[in-house]
Amino acid sequence: MTITIIILTILLWSSVKGEFPVKRAVEIEWDLESTPLEIRTDSVLGSDDQVYVDFYSAEEKYAGGFALYFTSTPQYELGYCTSGTDFPVNLPSTADKVWRITLTSRVVIHCNEVEVLNKLLSESTCSDSKWRTIWNRDVTKIWFDSDDTASDYYGTQLQLPEEDTSEEENESEQGDNQNYSDAAALKVSLIFLVVLLFAVDMRI
């Protein structure tokens, strides 16, 4: 019985990795150091849409952030490090884009699997003196700002939409998506259940 529960837990754990509609001005549990964040957009250059996602620690202290501006020349911004800055390489030309944010001592951004930014966080690359305090905090939560007009979906291993996908299929997919935070809570509950069952079995 315990083995069955463990297998079920593993399957449910892996199932939370998927695609979720962006909810703005809501805390979302996300360990950015261990799990790169992917964001899907369909904004075009010159639309002035923007991606605006902040990072927070478990103590709810600001731990950095990433902004992306769909101006005629696309720019990015890293909170307490850089202001609006041109990307060092050209972005993929398609409107549909999946952005992957990876955070270590560097901020690495991929767009449609193409590396478009690889920035070391240091005294020489960050203009604000508070960068070290801010970016050395462990990120456990993300927050899509209400000013974010470009982010459509977030998650891991996002897929670009197929050209022949019907509107009904898209609506169905959105209806099946669940909030990542709720899924994370489910994982914790299931782990607790596994530990409890294991302890009961040991007593028996």
| Domain boundary assignment for the chain | 1-17+177-204, 19-165
CA distances from 27 to 23, 55, 57, 180, 196 (A): 9, 10, 11, 10, 29
pLDDT (0 to 100) of residue 196:
53
pLDDT (0 to 100) of residue 41:
98
Specify the 3-state DSSP secondary structure of 149.
Answer: coil
Round to whole Å and give the CA distance between 14 and 82. Answer: 35
171 is written with which tokens? 């609506």
Q: Are 117 and 87 in contact (CB under 8 A)?
A: yes
Q: Reduced to 3 DSSP states, what percent helix, strand and coil does the chain have, rounded to the nearest 5?
A: 25, 30, 45
pLDDT (0 to 100) of residue 18:
85
Specify the 3-state DSSP secondary structure of 175.
Answer: helix
Supply the Cα-derived Rg of the chain in whole angstroms. 19
59 is written with which tokens? 């103590």
Q: What is the third-level CATH fold of 19-165?
A: Jelly Rolls (2.60.120)
User: For each successive 10 residues of the chain (204 residues), what is the average pLDDT?
Assistant: 43 58 97 97 97 98 98 97 96 97 97 97 95 97 98 96 55 46 51 52 58
